[in-house]
Structure 1
Amino acid sequence: MRDVTHHPETGRTRRRGRITVWIGRALLGALLVASLVLGGTAFRVWQVALVDHRRSADMIVVLGAAQYNGDPSPVLRSRLEHALELYRSGLSEHIVTVGGNQAGDNYTEAQAGSMWLIEQGVPPGAVVEAEVGSDTLRSIRAVSEVAERRDWDSALIVSDPWHSWRCRTMAEDQGLRAMVSPTRSGPTEDVRTAYILREAAAMLFYRVMHASADVTGYGLG
């Protein structure tokens, strides 16, 4: 005759097994949802980057990037050249250069941009320096303060393509009517995928935390 006695240890083992399976499924589901959210956000970053929304605005905004003792880096120069083209096209009478400096710098990013534009023939009175901003959100807030002081409400923002959606969203959240006109000589192909994913993650962080999550590493600002 078989012994049909139920051992407590066997029951506990089965319960632990079921719990382990449930936890595994929950983690897999969470990873799947996270992947879908990140993928959808990355697609939106890519989608907005493809379109130039240039329109007339109260100001053309050049978001800062590295400068070397007053000489714009290649990334910043690309943005300035693009802003100069928009200015000469008559889309705005004012250009706002944005960006602070690092410890020991003689110039801010805003000053370097302003000097370059004036050297190209833009009247000094047409350039406004916003010498604040070590990340995108601080830069956009500095632009919002300039707009408030001058009673402006629209901005045509110049940055790199993959940065367009995030800076436009931040500007709109600051009450500006924002458009983006991205450069077309920005991030090279070898860093494009990494930059899109970085921007997608930064955008999700901003949506949740209402704070900036800028990460340096590619020299892209």
Structure 2
Amino acid sequence: MMNELQSGDPQGNRHDPHSTGGTTEADTDTTSTTTATGASTDAKTTTTESANDTAATATNPAASHIHFPLRQVATAIVSIGALASLWYARAVYNTHTGTSFWLFWVAFALALGVWAAAIWFHWWRALPNAVRIPIGIVLCVALCGFGVSQAAIASHMRDEGDRNLDYIIVLGAQVHQGSPSLVLRYRLDRAAEYLRANPDTTCIVSGGQGPNEPYAEARGMADYLEHDAGIDASRIIEEPDSTTTVENLHNSRMIIDRASNTGSAGSAASEPSIGIVTNDFHVFRSLHIAHDQGYTDVQGIAAGSPRDMLLNNMVRESFAEAKYLIKC
């Protein structure tokens, strides 16, 4: 009996609240309760956050727009382009070339400003399809045409012309009192280089007097070639009446026909070889006009041009080419 009391009943320990087995079961029950409570709390938190997100989206629709940062970047880029265009307009104006094409860059800046506003305020999406589709088509056609014209201009910017041509025609540009403009000086220096390398070639300098010029461009060009470039005056013929590229080539061709007894009655064998000396961006249109006027053996001789104004000159040439095509 005493042994039993001393050894204790192993089964009785299960009912002892201070025993190890009793403690394990209680902890297990408590953990289960805690886990269930935590899961319930997490579910309530998730539901609450979802409700808050829905309320925020309903209050501020822009918050749900995934392209909002992209719209900010696009607006900033277009706005910077507008400011750059205004700066370039001032730079072109300060060259005092005698043309008003600098206004194009002002207009372009305004167009970019409208575009930036349209991106920011979603004006484009607000337009009906009946308006957006025609506008999109016109813009695509215009951009494609501009791209084609730029490629054509670039394709002749390195023309050199064959050696020993019968004539070269130097197209006129603005002259100042006592000196040619920078653009014209590029043409004249290239012509002088060709004439020195080809002593049998005759040079025709073509250009009349504009409203902002002290004398005819042909006069200033001949003086520069003779006195500054060292070309013999007997090799220079002046054509002082033309005011456009079309007139430059037409009047110069009349001089050549009279000198070589060619023209509409001349045979292909007697057709003189002719080179047109002008700035690189202007060669393509000059050759186009020359071919339309019946020049058959004609080549371009590209002179350089101011690099800081190349963008302006190339864009201007695209518009000039379009204008010529419309008039034709």
* TM beyond 0.5: yes
Give the equivalent residue in structure 2 for 1:215.
none
Aligned partner of 1:179 in structure 2 is 299
1:104 CA displacement? 7.3
> 1:201 aligned to 2:309?
no
2:153 counterpart (42, 45, 56): 45
Give unmatched runs, 5+ long, in structure 2. Answer: 1-127, 261-270
Give me the whole-angstrom Cα distance separating, in 2, the residues matched to 1:129 and 1:96: 6
Which protein has the bigger helix share? 2
Please tell me whether the aligned partners of residues 207 and 248 of structure 2 are also in contact (alpha carbons under 8 angstroms).
Answer: yes
What does the per-residue CA deviation read over 1:97-129, in whole Å, with 9 as the maximum and x for residues that have no partner?
111113475421101111222224322221100
Aligned residue for 1:100, secondary structure, equals coil
Q: How does 1:62-211 map to 2 (within 5 A)?
A: 62-90=170-198, 92-103=200-211, 105-119=213-227, 120-151=229-260, 153-176=272-295, 177-184=297-304, 186-188=305-307, 190-210=308-328
**Contact preservation (8 Å) 2:175, 2:214:** no
Aligned residues: 190
- CA spacing shift, 1:164–1:92, aligned 2, 3 Å: farther
Larger relative contact order (Cα-Cα within 8 Å, sequence gap ≥ 6): 1
How does the TM-score come out when normalised to structure 1? 0.77
* Cα deviation, residue 138, structure 1: 1.7
Which 5+ residue runs of structure 1 have no aligned equivalent?
1-19, 211-221
Change (3 A) 1:199 1:92: farther
Which structure has the greater CA radius of gyration? 2
For the aligned residue pairs, the C-alpha RMSD in angstroms reads: 2.2
Paired residues of 2:188 and 2:221 also in contact (CA < 8 A): yes
- Identity over aligned residues, as a percent? 25
Q: What secondary structure is seen at the aligned counterpart in 1 of 2:155? A: helix
Q: 1:63 deviation in Å?
A: 0.9
Q: Give SS of 1:181's match.
A: strand
> Structure 2: how far apart are the matches of 1:104 and 1:28?
41
Range moving further from structure 2, 201-210 or 40-49? 201-210
Structure 2 vs 1, CA of residues 91 and 198 (structure 1 numbering), >3 Å: closer, same or farther? farther
Q: CA deviation at 1:27?
A: 2.6
CA separation in 1, counterparts of 2:322 and 2:199? 32
Cα deviation for residue 23 of structure 1 reads 4.2
Cα 1:70/1:98, change in 2 over 3 Å = farther
